[in-house]
């Protein structure tokens, strides 16, 4: 009985706290060599340079104080695709008080 109660309580706690997640869907054709995550830009406006869209990126369930960690995780997940930047299209705070964002990973054509 105690074991069942503890496991149930643990499941509830994990569902409430949750872990941050990142979803990437490749949308562009072809493959590019991986880039250095530290060199990937996080943008909130479309750059003036011409670019190719590589993938859509969505992340959720971040504490509002963890915006820098969220950006770094987007960089880390976009680097293997060969991205030079991630353009954040939208972001906000979900009803559970956690931060989310979505955008596109891009590669500059002049690189």
C-alpha–C-alpha distance, residues 95 and 104, integer Å: 24
pLDDT exceeds cutoff 70 at 5: no
Higher pLDDT, 14 or 46: 46
Which pLDDT score, from 0 to 100, does residue 102 have? 95
% of the chain surpassing 70 pLDDT: 83
Over residues 53-82, mean pLDDT: 95
Higher pLDDT, 21 or 11: 21
Strand, coil or helix: 44:
coil
Domain boundaries, the chain: 19-108
Which pLDDT score, from 0 to 100, does residue 30 have? 87
pLDDT exceeds cutoff 80 at 4: no
* CATH of region 19-108: 3.30.110
C-alpha–C-alpha distance, residues 65 and 72, integer Å: 13
What torsion do the CA atoms of 25, 55, 31, 62 make, to the nearest 10 degrees? -80
């Amino acid at each position: 009985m105690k074991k069942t109660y503890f496991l149930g309580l643990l499941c509830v706690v994990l569902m409430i706290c949750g872990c941050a997640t990142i979803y990437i869907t490749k949308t562009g054709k072809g493959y590019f060599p991986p880039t250095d995550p530290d060199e990937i830009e996080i943008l909130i406006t479309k750059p003036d340079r011409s670019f190719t869209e590589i993938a859509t990126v969505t992340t959720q369930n971040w504490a509002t104080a963890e915006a820098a960690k969220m950006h770094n995780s987007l960089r880390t997940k976009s680097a293997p695709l060969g991205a030079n930047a991630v353009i954040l299209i939208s972001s906000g705070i979900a009803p559970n008080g956690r931060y989310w964002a979505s955008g596109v990973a891009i590669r500059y054509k002049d690189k």
